[in-house]
Amino acid sequence: MEFFQPSFGLIICLLLISSNSLWVSASDLQTYIVHVELPDTLLSTTSLIEDLDIWYRSFLPITTSDSNEGSSLIYSYHNVFKGFAAKLSPEHLKAMEKMPGFISARPEEVFPLHTTHSPNFLGLNQNMGFWSESNYGKGVIIGVLDSGINPDHPSFGDEGMPPPPQKWKGKCEFSTIKCNNKVIGARVFQSTNGSPLDENGHGTHTASTAAGNFVKGANALGNANGTAAGVAPLAHLAIYKVCTSTGCSESAVVAAMDTAIDDGVDILSLSLGGSARPFYSDTIAIGAYSAIEKGIFVSCAAGNSGPFRSSLSNEAPWILTVGASTIDRKIIANAKLGNNEEFDGQSLYQPKDFPLTQFPLLYPGPNLNSRYCSSELVNNTEARGKIIVCVNGGNVSRIGKGQNVKAAGGVGMIIINQVQHGYTTFAEAHILPAAHLTYADGLKVIAYINSTTSPTASILFKGTIIGDKRAPAVASFSSRGPTLASPGIIKPDIIGPGVNILAAWHRSIENNTISKSNFNVLSGTSMSCPHLSGVAALLKSVHSNWSPATIKSAIMTTADIVNLAKNPVEDETNLLPANVFATGSGHVNPAKANNPGLVYDIRPTDYVPYLCGLYTSRQVSSILQRRIICNSSVGEAQLNYPSFSIRFGSTVQTYTRTVTNIGEANSSYVVQVVPPRGVNVTVRPNTLTFSQLNQKLQYQITFTRLAASTNTTASQGFLSWNSENYSLLHLTTPNGVAEEYIVSDM
């Protein structure tokens, strides 16, 4: 299988989801997401919402008790799809399945939750450049679906903020706190408690990453000091609390998307998601489609199941699926061994009084649980007074490992990566002196321990260092493609900062009960997603007429594929250039996205033939929320997407793309191609000449498998459209061959 990646940014990648009367106890009930069809009498009604609720309730059984233990309607959905969430027993479900208009029902899923320096790392600097030109996102509303918010935090002050746009229809459901011109709305949904206040910090962190206001002197435990700001610091925030510390209920997520569409948001930001599934049963995908039909841009986290292949969440092509990358800032904790070898790791906790002397070093392996510093370490009498080596992983958090080491009497901890973690290390708020080392350095630590009967080590703290030239690199945890729901679409779409991101936190990590200026450092695609939500807000502020697909194309086709050292972006191994299954189009470059020259636009209706190529008419109707008869279809690679993913079933494959000129009225673009290994690529015409803005032109691209080629691995290449003022030459060189993805030809 081959694949190919273009850009002028165009990135082309070629990859060569009547009621019975019953009474039941609450313990018999389970929450189901139910899809139904509308009767003809409701298709043209003028009071649709009220009539919809009546229609939905007609599917529910009538209970024989006035108690709250019977079946109950939890949410009515009006925008994202026609259906509802309800608590049902197995008997109720069987009865419902026989009713006219019923389509499907399944138990709801619980979705897992998937900065001072990162704006500067993205080229956003105060009072200059794109940040200033975009008015810092002023006037744009970002809807954040997460665990709530701490509105008292300085990041959510409204200094310099205008009032909400007149279109805003949302509500503020704090009991004692008022919303302001920054946090213009906050809602809570039934599956969580009764307040939008954040209880675990995740929502506060993601909201401030997307649109936190400027806060001087921000730091975490004295490190990463600077002026904190979100990517779109003057954008408005609308908060939808759908998550608790245990996860995010699917019914609440859908209800929040449904409400946010009515409220008038411009951007939806979801740092959460479930496993891959067909789009007709993926409620986030269905909700996102309803959103983009109304011009709302949707940004979602790719997931934290990397580096394993096909581990993505949120795969629909109308969603911007965001992977995670490193930034060039590290908070250094150095492990010095008794043989004088030194290895720079990371830790947010940097005590000033930790002795520089060598301590005995203990590796409690090879017992599987002991090597992960699980709770059984607490009873290990050999740990007292020593620095303990702990292997990353094993279902024990890195903070939890430190708690166990401290409880066992250890004085410090060195965390070493497993092979899949590679060079990705984290600066975290450990409760004792610690250093998190790479896999390669961890092997050297173990080799040293095995070489002597009395191993020792010390930990030295060097503080915040900026300037890692290997950044950005793909984070080990960032989920990878190829996609399962639609293999013909390359995902993730983009990568953005997601490792060691400093942003607002709901409480002091120093146990300072007086301070409100609290910040913490977190990692995950949960952190990269709001970065891209903020970038979309900046673009929307400048280009209010851009469609969600135009914004997405601008982001993808201007992405960087080189790091600060001007070498190809690497993955967590630091050995090979990362492939498109890890990076998508590359690393976001906000300033370039503001002026892409050409874009690949997709109208919502353009997805219909694409979806008809994947699913039945009934399944497509479930996604589009209207009756569709699939009379025609197109292959996935024919969608006007800024990438190609092709599996060679025939020797020659030809596809069409349409580009829209949003750069200069009179302009000419010449194509340049770097083909995938073993493939010939021909583009007709090879020059696109425009005479006006918004003019659309088509080109055809033909992929021909070379007869002499025996390549059965995935490969990639690039296509670049270059004009006098829009030349992205960095996208004309190959980004390596994805040798680890072995795929047979069809």
From the list 442, 522, 465, 457, the residue with the least C-alpha distance to 350 is 465
Query: What is the phi-psi region of residue 553: left when phi exceeds 0, alpha when psi lies from -120 to 50, beta otherwise?
Result: alpha
205 as an active site residue: the answer is no
Residue 153 appears among annotated catalytic residues: no
Q: How many CB atoms lie within 10 A of CB 231?
A: 31
> Does the active-site annotation cover 436?
no
Tokens of 729: 């030459």
Find all residues with CB under 8 Å of 637, minimum gap 6, and list them. Answer: 488, 644, 645, 646, 653, 655
Residue 76 · residue 56 · CB < 8 Å:
yes
Q: Is 256 helix (H, G, I), strand (E, B) or coil?
A: helix
Q: Which H or E run contains 293?
A: helix 283-293
Per-residue CA distances from 363 to 374, 437, 442, 445 (Å): 13, 14, 11, 10
The separation between the first and the last C-alpha atoms of the chain, rounded to the nearest angstrom, is: 8
Q: How far is Cα of residue 653 from the mean position of the Cα atoms in its chain?
A: 32
Among candidate residues 71, 146, 493, 533, the one labeled active-site is: 146
CA separation for the pair 95, 98 (Å, rounded)? 6
**Contact (Cβ atoms closer than 8 angstroms) between residue 89 and residue 24:** yes
> H helices within 165-267, ranges in order?
202-211, 250-263
Judge contact between 71 and 56, C-beta under 8 A.
no
**Strand, coil or helix: 727:** coil
Q: CA-CA distance, 609 to 614, in Å (whole number)?
A: 9
Residue 227 contacts residue 101 (beta carbons within 8 Å): no
| CA gap 159, 162 in Å, rounded | 9
C-alpha torsion sign, points 491, 497, 501, 506: negative
Distance CA 17, CA 38 (A): 23
DSSP state of 532: H
Q: Give CA–CA dist 288/677, Å, rounded.
A: 36
Instruction: Quote the CA–CA distance of 206 and 270 in Å, as a whole number.
Output: 9
Q: Which phi and psi angles does 698 have, rounded to 5°?
A: -110, 155
| Those residues with Cβ within 8 angstroms of residue 361's Cβ, 6 or more apart along the chain or in another chain | 337, 338, 386, 387, 389, 414, 449, 455, 456, 457
- Catalytic residue from among 117, 202, 236, 587: 202
Token pair belonging to 295: 């011009």
Q: Which residues contact 260 (CB under 8 A, 6 or more apart)?
A: 143, 145, 170, 238, 240, 268, 291, 296
Catalytically active residues are: 146, 202, 526
